[in-house]
Amino acid sequence: MRTKKNLIRHEFIGLEIKVIESKNKNLVGISGKVIDETKNTIKIESRDKKEKIIPKNGNVFEFTLPRNKRVTICGDEIRVRPEDRIKKKFKRWKYL
């Protein structure tokens, strides 16, 4: 079960996501469902069925978990391949 404390060690695909901070101000506010993830990017399908590729570096994301719980994660902390992130130990990871 995905919770605030263990989200970073789970799969993001299928979760609702929103860019809440970014170095590129054009990316702030983009939201939708995560449909793919690589080491450096997250692919989002917006409500109008358009796909957008967002870099993890320099962005802060807000994920929505079941029961409408929200978790904020800095993209710099999750800049690893998804399969490696699941196995990786995060010593200082804090959800916001």
Tokens of 33: 């469902």
pLDDT band at 66 (very low <50, low <70, confident <90, very high): confident
Q: Pick from 26, 22, 24, 46: which is nearest to 34 by CA? A: 46
Q: What is the pLDDT of residue 94?
A: 52
Q: What is the pLDDT of residue 96?
A: 54
Question: Mean pLDDT, the chain, as a whole number?
Answer: 89
Q: What is the pLDDT of residue 86?
A: 73
Task: Spell out the domains of the chain, with CATH numbers in brackets.
Answer: 7-87 (2.30.30.210)
pLDDT average, residue stretch 46-63 = 96
